[in-house]
Structures are given as structure tokens and as C-alpha cells.
Amino acid sequence: MSAPALTPPPPGTTIALMEPLGHAANHTLHAGTAAADAHPPFVLVEPVGAQVPLVLASPHSGRRYPPELIARSRLDALTLRRSEDVAVDALVAEGPEHGAALLAATHARAWVDLNRDATEIDLSMFDDAPPGHRFQRTARVQAGLGAIPRVVGEGLEIYGTRIAWDDAQRRIDSVWRPFHAALTRLVRDTRERHGAVLLIDCHSMPSAARGVDGADIVLGDRFGQAAPARVAQFAQGVLERMGYRVARNSPYAGGFITQTHGRPAARQYAMQIEISRGIYLDEATLEPSARFERLRRDLGAFLAHLADATDSGRLF
């Protein structure tokens, strides 16, 4: 069984979305544009019918691996994909059917990590130190998982040599900045239209990283800092009634996107969802398993519940 493929259109085009995100529907898909890169940095799938105060982001499911990355990497193509949230955009593609907007990355996480601050940079990767810049040497950067990743999977080094800083700057300018400008605008406009908004940041995790509870799905709200507890409680209840084991905030409490956009005082809420790859993929080949379709349908129903709860004001 093959994963539905997301193939972005040329910059500036609008097309009817049928197969790319894995769900046949009369969606409208917009390609992001970037002057420094002929390939769009994101696709935005608009809601069908009336929009609800629910926004979905899939920052790590991009499947474009630029030729420069392939040429410079010391890893084979399959290994490079070990940090990719394989087909997560396809798993949540039914969201627009229920009134949610969906913003999905097109470029691979190994190229640029959209769930990091742009200043989370490991300077040891570059052969020319950029002047006049301030960078954060966070724990994620030290682990090789900054905005320009040094490793994939279980600490496997991507590059055999250092890379030029101009290359990294181009990735930030042509992919990271347009994606985050679009996400910020989408969240802001939805909040202004409805008076509140819930952003769901969608990810997948290796089954080996599920934590002591062996959760199928982990919900992260930054321990209540990004959304009131009732949001995660509602989501957990829906998923558990479907038969999934759900944990909250451990081992994943929410990353840069959840932290940045979760501002409960402004009625702007955010929650990260991490889905174990073991429940929908063959993790050795990264091919969808027989359970892929069931999970996709269940997540569609889950998003329908969230859309209803946000639109009715029950969660806000």
C-alpha cells in the first residue's frame, strides 16, 4: 500500500485537490511562493464551506529533498527520511471537510526544521561564521536538531563536511520564513474572525519514543501553558473512546510552534499531537501498513469532533 503523495504545484497556482493529501474533495490548494526557491515552501488547504476556529499544521511531513541535500549527505535516501513525519498531512487531510484550514510543509525536515526557532543554529556545521547574528544553543541544537538539522533519526550525521552559511540562510529565507508568515497570518485571521482559535500541530513519533506508557498518541499543551486543560481532556476522551492509548505532555509537551502560538490569555490556543508511527507504518520501510486507512478515518472523525466543539464554543 502506497502513501498518498503530496506533490506541490508550481508557485502561485491554485488547483483542485484530489489525491495529493489522501482525501478526495473539492478543496482549494494554494502553493506558497518564495523568491529564492522555485519550489513552494507550503501548501494551504482551505476549508470546505464555512470555516470553524480550528487550524491544522503539519510542519514535518514535507517530502521534497532538494538535490543539494542528496548530493551532500553521507546517508542514503531512506535513512534521510527517518526524521520525516511520514504521511501525517495525509492522515489529517479530512480536516478541511469539517471546516479547518490545513497548512502543510513541502520541504523535508532534514532540509529545514519548521518546528524550531530560526535562531536555533549549530554554528559547528558551517565553514564560515555569520557576522552580526545571535543564535540559541538550546538542548535541541546540541543534539543536532536545530533549524538546520545536523542529524536524523538516532543521531545519524547528515553531512560529511561543513556547509556554507549562505546555504543555511537561503533555507531559512525561502522555506522557514514563508511557512511561519503563513501560519501566523492564518492563526491571527481565524482568531479575529471567530474570537478564538485552536491550532493543532500534527506530528508523528518513532514507536520506540512513546514513553513508559507506550502511548499511541501523545497530546502536548506545554503543561497547560498553551491551552486550558479542558482542550486536551476533550481530545483525549475522543481518542480513547476510539481505542487509542493516549498520554499528555510526556514524552512530548509541544515544540516551537505550540509554544509560539499558544497564548490562552488572547484566546489563542495550541496543542501538539504526536502519533506513533508503529500504528500506521512499517517503520523499517516507511511504507503505510494495513492500519493506515483505519487511523486516517479515525482522525477524520476526531477532527470532526474538534471542529464541532470549537465552533460551538464548548472548548473556548
Distances in Å between the Cα of 306 and the Cα atoms of 49, 62, 172, 234, 263 are: 16, 25, 32, 8, 19
Q: How confident is the model at residue 8 (pLDDT cuts 50, 70, 90)?
A: very low
Place 2 in a pLDDT band, splitting at 50, 70 and 90.
very low
Q: Interhelix angle for 292-311 vs 229-241, to 10°? A: 140
Residue with cell 506558497: 32
Separation between Cα atoms, residue 49 and residue 78, nearest integer Å: 39
Residue 254 contacts by C-beta under 8 Å, 6 or more apart in sequence?
A: 201, 220, 221, 222, 226, 262, 270, 271, 272
Residues in contact with 291: Cβ distance below 8 Å, sequence separation at least 6, in sequence order: 279, 280
Give the domain ranges of the chain. Answer: 14-64+78-110+180-311
CATH topology for 14-64+78-110+180-311 is: Aminopeptidase (3.40.630)
d(C-alpha 186, C-alpha 39), whole Å: 21
- Residue 219 pLDDT more than 90? yes
Task: With cut-offs at 50, 70 and 90, classify the pLDDT of residue 171.
Answer: very high
- Closest by CA position to 310, among listed 52, 107, 124: 52
Is this structure's pTM higher than 0.75? yes
Q: Which single residue is written with the C-alpha cell 517530502?
A: 63
Query: Three-state secondary structure along 219-277?
Result: EECCCCCCCCHHHHHHHHHHHHHCCCCEEECCCCCCCHHHHHHCEHHHCEEEEEEEEEH
**Which of 147-151, 152-156, 221-225, 238-242 has the lowest average pLDDT?**
152-156
What residues contact 315, with CB distance under 8 A and at least 6 apart? Answer: 198, 230, 231, 234, 269, 306, 309
Higher pLDDT, 209 or 304: 304
The C-alpha atoms of residue 248 and residue 273 are separated, in whole angstroms, by 9
User: What torsion, rounded to 10 degrees, do the Cα atoms 143, 250, 259, 147 define?
Assistant: 20
**For residue 144, what pLDDT is reported?**
84
